[in-house]
Amino acid sequence: MSKYRVVFKRSRIELAIGCIIAGLFVLSFWCWKAQILPFQWLIQSVLSILVCVHFFKWLKQQQAQKVSPVIFTVDGQWTELEHDSWLITQQSRISRFVLFINLSSVLNAAHSKWFVVYHDQVSEQEYRRLCRAIIFQQQKTDG
């Protein structure tokens, strides 16, 4: 089987989801019924500031985080260049905008992890190759 090298970029989809969630939290604080609590505006302000601070910390962490390139094959081998070797499992899922890849350790089958790949993190060709690898694993266990 051919081996493919994938380098991941930052995802705008993930950033948009984070912004929406943070915005919904802040809006939910300001949708409370008026004057239920004493100093309600102060509580709402503090909670809103905490959400914003947490969001900006997450954003800074996302920009500093580097995802190491991987080499994978369509038959399910997944090798992180700076880490361990894994196998793509049949539990992985495909959608139009995101791939949920379940990886099982080659050394210890009890260890597994999830890897999320957004559509805009990789090229269209790499996204399709990853989809084929997931479909191959699902068909292999079904048959």
Same domain flag for 108 and 132:
yes
Same domain flag for 55 and 122:
no
Strands 77-80 and 85-88: antiparallel
Structural domains counted in the chain: 2
Same domain flag for 44 and 73:
no
pLDDT at 48 > cutoff 70: yes
Same domain flag for 75 and 136:
yes
- Which of 43, 64, 85 marks a domain boundary? 64
- The confidence score (pLDDT) of residue 142 equals 60
Is pTM, for the whole model, over 0.85? no
pLDDT digits (tens, 9 = 90+) for 23-40: 999 999 988 888 888 888
The answer to whether 79 and 86 are in contact (CB under 8 A) is yes
Judged on CB neighbours under 10 Å (0-12, 13-18, 19+), 141 is exposed
Q: How confident is the model at residue 124 (pLDDT cuts 50, 70, 90)?
A: very high
Question: In the structure encoding, which two tokens stand for residue 68, read together?
Answer: 């190491």
- The confidence score (pLDDT) of residue 138 equals 87
Average pLDDT of the segment spanning 6-11: 88
- DSSP character at residue 33: P
Q: Can you give the residue range of the structural domain that contains 57?
A: 12-64
DSSP string, 46-82: HHHHHHHHHHHHHHHHHHH--PPPEEEETTSEEEETT
Same domain flag for 91 and 128:
yes
- The confidence score (pLDDT) of residue 131 equals 93
Same domain flag for 80 and 60:
no
pLDDT digits (tens, 9 = 90+) for 51-109: 999 999 998 988 888 777 888 888 888 888 777 788 999 999 999 899 999 999 888 87
Same domain flag for 17 and 28:
yes
Same domain flag for 33 and 74:
no
Q: How confident is the model at residue 1 (pLDDT cuts 50, 70, 90)?
A: low
Same domain flag for 59 and 98:
no
- Which of 64, 85, 101 marks a domain boundary? 64
